[in-house]
Amino acid sequence: TPITTSFSSSSPDQDHPPEIGIGIDLGTTFSAVAYLKHGQTPTMIPIPHNGRTMPSLVSILPSNHDNDKEIVMVGREAAEAAHTYGVEPYCNVKRILGTGGKLSPDIVKVVPFVQPSPVGQTFKKNSLTNQIADAQNFPTLLRKSTTPLENDPATTLRPEVISSHVLRTLVETAQNHTHCRVTRAVIGVPAYFHDAQREATQQAAQLAGLDKVKLLRE
């Protein structure tokens, strides 16, 4: 069940739509969004082409045009792109948000395109201080699916970028459903998330266009 927020809508004027806050469940495998209908009833928002929940999948395809702008697909569309275009989607990205250093082999197996740092401490097998330091100094990156060359900084991206595509889809879904502008959100995060993982979640939300974000430990 997604986290719901008690943020209330602001009064509309002639130039701007009313602003609302939403609750987001940014899950490892599925994500969802909700709002307080009429300011009091928690209501999940159906996501077009997905339903009440959306797979936390992102596919990035090269553009067929000269503007070099990539095509981003999220949720079930990303899964369908895997069959149509043969491009594996990014998945399980939440597992590496705010991490760094030498990742556990179990993590590497389930996160496509992951490019862990060759240096640093081993994830989840050392102190919390080491985990946070590795996230800051030797961050985990993802290889761009459209440029499969390895060990080239120009072909990597931060996990926050992928998570921001999921969050942006949820924000746009809420705006289209409510006809309000979403500026604030409460996002549920696991209780075990350390400071670097929480900060990475905040950065993903900012990339998605959210002005104010509150993280709620699940």
Task: Give all domains of the chain, ordered by start, each with its CATH number.
Answer: 1-54+92-218 (3.30.420.40)
Write out the two tokens for 73.
């697909």
- At residue 118 the predicted structure's pLDDT band, cuts being 50, 70 and 90, is confident
Please count the residues of the chain: 218
Given a contact cutoff of 8 angstroms between Cβ atoms, the answer to whether 19 and 160 are in contact is no
- Give the tens place of pLDDT for each residue, 169-216: 999 999 999 999 998 999 999 999 999 999 999 999 999 999 899 999
Q: Determine the Cα–Cα distance for residues 35 and 15; give it in Å rounded to an integer.
A: 23
Q: Given a cut of 60, is residue 54 above it in pLDDT?
A: yes
Count of alpha carbons within 13 angstroms of residue 81, beta-carbon side: 19
Q: Given a cut of 70, is residue 123 above it in pLDDT?
A: no
Q: What is the pLDDT of residue 86?
A: 86
| Count of beta carbons in the 10 Å neighbourhood of residue 80 | 15
Given a contact cutoff of 8 angstroms between Cβ atoms, the answer to whether 5 and 22 are in contact is yes
Given a contact cutoff of 8 angstroms between Cβ atoms, the answer to whether 93 and 61 are in contact is no
Q: What is the pLDDT of residue 152?
A: 53
Q: Given a cut of 70, is residue 7 above it in pLDDT?
A: no
